[in-house]
A and B are shown apart, each in its own frame.
Chain A
Amino acid sequence: MSASTSTPVDWTRRTAAELADALAVGEVTSVELTQAHLDRIAAVDGDVHAFLHVDTDGALAAAAAADERRRGGEPRGRLDGVPIAVKDVLATRGLPTTCGSKILEGWVPPYDATVVARLRAAGLPLLGKTNMDEFAMGSSTEHSAYGPTHNPWDLDRIPGGSGGGSAAAVAAFEAPLAIGTDTGGSIRQPGAVTGTVGVKPTYGGVSRYGLVALANSLDQAGPVTRTVLDSALLHEVIGGHDPRDSTSIDEPLPALVDAARKGTDGDLSGLRVGVIAELSGKGYQAGVLARFSESLDLLRAAGAEVVEVSCPNFVHALAAYYLILPAEASSNLAKFDAMRYGLRVLPDGVESPSAEEVMRASRDAGFGDEVKRRIILGTYALSSGYYEAYYGTAQKVRTLISRDFEAAFAQVDVLVSPTAPTTAFKLGEKLDDPIAMYLNDLATIPANLAGVPGMSLPSGLADEDGLPAGFQILAPALADDRLYRVGAALEAALLAKWGGPLLDRVPELSRNERAPR
């Protein structure tokens, strides 16, 4: 990343922490670096399609206000003036929020999600809203009603999902930071396949107010960044108790930035790391396992004790998830009834249609295939006669998975696994094979079922295809700081090994200048 003296600084290549430092010393203004990111979006998003909506005017106005505060000596915090992209599942006052669905096309929320309100309060200009699988259902962003996002490492491949837009925006240097949401891996799996860092906080650690619910008991918003420290900085902005979310934990956030800084020292003496026996081996790509194994060596070299731990019930996590999630989703999506907001379609050839007929026609026209699949699956799982056999058993399995975590964390401080079983696959490859698509999340789902925090960070490129692989770290509930300490230590060791950030190897994208869609 050596800029020659004749070329101007490319601010889009800097980490959020570096941008914050540059703003603090007056080396750059927020307007300049926000404009640099808007220019980058204009140059590459025609190819990547990470954004569903770009708010040029709003971002520049927020940046100007941030500069004004800096000039007055009153910045609102470290990240004041550092721009960010937000997944289109979070309500943004005055900015369209579609959840990647036709049923919400053109909807402009009259209020901000708490996460968004906190970003605005901390002075981060919102660059725009990022693409996602419709209502966060998917692992490839191909289920977006507005077309897929393309992986910056290879535009013919998926960027992961559901938060592929946020991960691709950060990997393509269109935004230094982004917000994602993770119900079964939608922050961590896109992180793995795009070579970025993604964190799913402890359930209840970040407010869900204004987050359009997929599965209330599983959803959690979190940071999507290029470094572990940047995730910690962002996590501290969005985290903490919110009285508007009844599941929000009323306890102070651990010191995450401190933990990340401490981790960078690279000393993990005394730390016990458990490799989850059930989450490697069969079904995992050889190159993903090779990078995982090398990362374990680096943790050992940093002084950690690495042991294998068994979580026998994790083999049932995927099945439990695909009963619990559709059940909750079918109930949540009942609110899209064409009455108060969203798409209203009048059925053809029906004179004076009833509200129910309008509802049926609107939901057929507004929802895509995967959403319909899951609503019907959830309706089935919740019907009398099947309820106890399916939904009831899935809830019991959830208990067993939580017990596995408790037993494991009695032996070790953190658990680790590859984040996703493979690197990014080709667009279209698994689109009409739901089971193959669901398997992408087998390593990330247990954390959602048990509510524990998880992080994915890049572990390197797989030998067979040259694409990024992810390393997952899981910690006990409320111990999110452990993710940052271990993640920062591993990241520092990997950077030394690679001789620079992995994302420096992303192919150049700006081959043609096109306006963002």
Chain B
Amino acid sequence: MPQTPGSIGSSGARVEITRDEVAHLADLARIELSDAELDHLAPQLRVILESVASITGVAGDDVPHTSHAIGLTNVFRDDVVAPCLTAEEALSGAPAQEQQRFSVPRILGDEQ
């Protein structure tokens, strides 16, 4: 199928992404979305996904994945002590702190 870059969105693919699925994804991403936001975002996400769906099937099984443009493998440094942030500096942006530690809301449920 001939395509120009300007034709994104014309792949004709149908992508079903329901309001409930968007709510589930938002839950996975730890974002509390309001009903109004869900109404607004779900149709937009469907349009975007239909556009990018043109890509499926473009590359054959023999094409390797590229995760990174420049092929670097493990980079190590010498294990030496170097200057780093003080506890005070590290805590300087903390929403709450206590005894030189980050103070966070409870992380366990009542039953735990």
Q: Which of A172-206 contact B (CB under 8 A)?
A: 202-204
Contact B25–A380 (Cβ < 8 Å): yes
Interface contacts (Cβ under 8 Å), in number, total: 209
Interface SS, B side? loop
With a CB–CB cut-off of 8 A, which chain A residues contact B55? Answer: 316, 319-320, 323, 390, 393-394, 397
Query: Do A377 and B5 form a contact, CB below 8 Å, given A108-B92, A330-B29?
Result: no
Residue on B nearest A322 in the bound complex, by CB: B52
Query: Do A360 and B77 form a contact, CB below 8 Å, given A279-B5, A402-B66?
Result: no
Question: How many Å lie between the Cα of A203 and that of B69 in the bound state?
Answer: 7
* Number of residues from B at the complex interface, CB < 8 A: 61
* Number of residues from A at the complex interface, CB < 8 A: 87
Contact B30–A363 (Cβ < 8 Å): yes
With a CB–CB cut-off of 8 A, which chain A residues contact B41? Answer: 369, 372-373, 376
Please encode chain B, from 15 to 33, with 1 for each CB lying within 8 Å of some chain A CB and 0 for all others: 0010000100110111111
Contact B67–A316 (Cβ < 8 Å): no
Query: Do A354 and B107 form a contact, CB below 8 Å, given A373-B41, A379-B25?
Result: yes
Please encode chain A, from 310 to 345, with 1 for each CB lying within 8 Å of some chain B CB and 0 for all others: 000111111110110000001000100111111110
What is the minimal beta-carbon distance from B31 to any residue of chain A, in angstroms?
Answer: 5
Question: How many Å lie between the Cα of A341 and that of B85 in the bound state?
Answer: 15
Contact B48–A435 (Cβ < 8 Å): yes
Within the complex, which residue of B54, B72, B104 is in contact with A355, where a contact is CB–CB below 8 Å? Answer: B104
Contact A364–B70 (Cβ < 8 Å): no
Q: Give me the interface of A with B, judged by CB distance under 8 Å.
A: 107-111, 202-204, 217-218, 243, 246-247, 249, 278-279, 281-283, 313-320, 322-323, 330, 334, 337-344, 347, 352-361, 363-364, 367, 369, 372-373, 375-377, 379-380, 383, 389-390, 392-400, 402, 421, 434-435, 438-439, 442-443, 448-452, 477
Q: Give me the interface of B with A, judged by CB distance under 8 Å.
A: 3-9, 17, 22, 25-26, 28-34, 37, 40-41, 44-45, 47-49, 51-59, 63-70, 72, 75, 77, 85, 89-90, 92-96, 102, 104-109
